[in-house]
Amino acid sequence: MQSKPTSGVIRRSAAPSSCRYYPYATGSRSGKKYMKDEVVRLGFKLSVSLAESMFLLCDDIRSMLWFCYKLFRDANSYQKSESSNANSDSPVVKRMLRVSHHVYSKYIQPKNEGGVFDQDGGNPFQCELIRTIWKDFADGIIVLHRLVMLLRRKDCSFDDRLLLSAIAKYKKLLKNLEDKLRSSGKDANGFARKAMESNIFSFWKSLFDEEATPKARKNMIVNDMFNPLFDVSKRSTFGFISHSELPALTVYSPYILGKDFAKQELKEEVVHLGVELSLYVAEMIGEEICLYVRAFTTGIEERLKNVEEELKGAKAVSEANGFAREAMESDIMDLWKSVFDKEAKEATQTLKVINMGILRDIFLPLLNAAAPP
């Protein structure tokens, strides 16, 4: 069926090629199922990175244990400050704790009782690595907790598009963490990723099931891993990490799914839409010039009858006329980045002059041509 021209405007049937695509409608059941499965996989990947970091740190077991203890304690305390139920432990922290205990007890824990403290202290590598990966792990736990809580609710305050954007940004966070661990410059003391993955994944399968971890199990894990750190009869509690450095390891509110996340994401979406609109106009200018020239040689009526067929090759036509989307996109993006910035008063008059100059440059020839003799 042929397209009907409306008010002389040619309408494209194809959407701009680079606009964002969200595979699920807001609130769809299939979308929530997909996202829950994805969050389970993300939790699994985060805990595999935790296992790798434990192997990297285990030359100084005291520092490794203190890192795990402070990470779980502070992240759990922070999520309670965001939650309406301050007595509930994070399901993410609980699983990270169980994973760390599994890795520690099966692969790292010294056989002799005093083994944790039989070392002469750590070395600068442990201290530097902990400082490097601390924020990634803290943000990873808190953002994952936010995702779990939002997906568990029936009346989610974020729509699917925002949740999918959060998941995409979370994957970048994990990739950044993995790169830091890979580039640490140290062998991971026999860390066998494939051998551990199946066991670690089992801890995450029930992430969205309503379950209560028995308090006795949690206490057993905490006592087994962390009690030696606070045994005053032993030597230095903190290994190579000094007391003065501990306050610097702080948990802050991550951007992802934070209070400004929805507003900022909407702003970014508007900027991208502005870029797409600009590219659309730039492409249409090339198409219209070509169609205008051809109209004189083939006849306007014939052109209108065949407009649908012509538009099928619109992209090829615009490219043949020199339209280069990728080359233009970065320049156009620069023009839109400041759309939400407040302009300084002293710049207002300058911008007005620039805008008037642009309008005269583009449209004055049209006005002169249309003016009566």
Q: Dump pLDDT digits (tens) for 247-282.
A: 578 899 999 999 899 889 888 888 888 888 887 777
- Predicted pLDDT of residue 2: 45
Residues 6+ apart with CB under 8 A from 161: 22, 26
Q: Give the model confidence (pLDDT) of 90-109 as tens digits.
A: 899 999 999 999 999 998 87
Instruction: Please tell me the predicted confidence (pLDDT) of residue 312.
Output: 54
Q: Give the Å distances, CA to CA, from 234 to 113, 185, 370.
A: 11, 32, 93
Task: Summarize pLDDT for 222-235 with one digit per residue, the tens.
Answer: 888 988 777 655 54
**Is the full-model pTM beyond 0.85?**
no
> What value does the mean pLDDT take over residues 46-75?
92
Check: CB of residue 166 under 8 Å from CB of residue 258.
no
Question: Which of 139-153, 275-289, 299-313, 324-338 has the lowest average pLDDT?
Answer: 299-313
Residue with tokens 């939650």: 83
Across the range 53-79, mean pLDDT stands at 91
Q: What percent of the chain has pLDDT above 90? A: 30
How far apart are the C-alpha atoms of 359 and 257, rounded to whole Å?
42
Whole-number Å distance between alpha carbons of 325 and 286: 12
**CA–CA gap between residue 159 and residue 327 (Å, rounded):** 33
Q: How many CB atoms lie within 10 A of CB 151?
A: 18
| HSE-CB of 123 using CA atoms within 13 angstroms | 6
- The ranges assigned to domains in the chain are 29-258, 265-341, 345-373
Rounded-to-integer distance, Cα 99 and Cα 56, Å = 16
